[in-house]
Amino acid sequence: MTALPASGIPALAANTRVPATLPSPAPDSAFQGAETVREAPVADWVTLADLREDPFPIYRRLRAEAPVHWVPAVNRYMVVSYDACHTVEQDADTFSANEEGSLMKRAMGHSMLRKDDPEHRADRDSYGSTLRPGTIKNHWMEIFERNHRRYLDQLKAKGPGADFVWDYAAPYAAENLRLICGFHNATQEDLQRWSQTMIDGTGNYADDPEVWAKAAASSAEVDAAIDEMLVYLKDRPDPSLLSGLASMPIPLEAIRANLKMTIGGGLNEPRDVLATTAWALLSCPEQLEAVRSEPKLWAAAFEESVRWVAPIGMYPRQTTRETVLGGVRLPAGAKLGVVLGSANRDPKVWEDPESFNVLRAKKPHLAFGGGQHFCAGAWVGRASVAQVALPGAFAELRNLRLEPAGSAIAAGWVFRGMTSMPVAWD
Q: Which residues bind ligand HEM (CB under 6 A)?
A: 112-113, 124, 131, 177, 180, 262, 265-266, 269-270, 273, 306, 311-312, 315, 367-369, 373, 375-377, 380-381
**Residue number, 266 or 422, with CB nearest to ligand HEM:** 266
Q: Which residue is nearest to ligand HEM (CB)?
A: 377
Contacts 24+ apart (CB under 8 A), 329-332: 329/37, 329/38, 329/39, 329/40, 330/40, 330/68, 330/77
**Residue number, 266 or 353, with CB nearest to ligand HEM:** 266
**Residue number, 75 or 407, with CB nearest to ligand HEM:** 75
Strand 417-420 to 409-411 pairing: antiparallel
**Residue number, 34 or 358, with CB nearest to ligand HEM:** 358
Tell the burial category of 375 from Cβ atoms under 10 Å away from its Cβ (0-12, 13-18, 19+): middle
Minimum distance from residue 262 beta carbon to ligand HEM (Å) = 5
**Residue number, 64 or 375, with CB nearest to ligand HEM:** 375
Query: What is the rounded distance in angstroms from the CA atom of residue 114 to the CA atom of residue 94?
Result: 14
Minimum distance from residue 273 beta carbon to ligand HEM (Å) = 5
Query: What is the rounded distance in angstroms from the CA atom of residue 220 to the CA atom of residue 231?
Result: 17
Query: What is the rounded distance in angstroms from the CA atom of residue 323 to the CA atom of residue 264?
Result: 31
Minimum distance from residue 345 beta carbon to ligand HEM (Å) = 15
**Residue number, 177 or 390, with CB nearest to ligand HEM:** 177
**Residue number, 131 or 334, with CB nearest to ligand HEM:** 131
Query: What is the rounded distance in angstroms from the CA atom of residue 158 to the CA atom of residue 67?
Result: 47
Minimum distance from residue 47 beta carbon to ligand HEM (Å) = 24
- CA dist list (Å): 86 to 81, 322, 363, 370: 9, 18, 13, 7
**Contacting residues for 207 by C-beta, under 8 A, at least 6 apart:** none
Helix axes 209-235, 188-202, angle to 10 degrees: 130
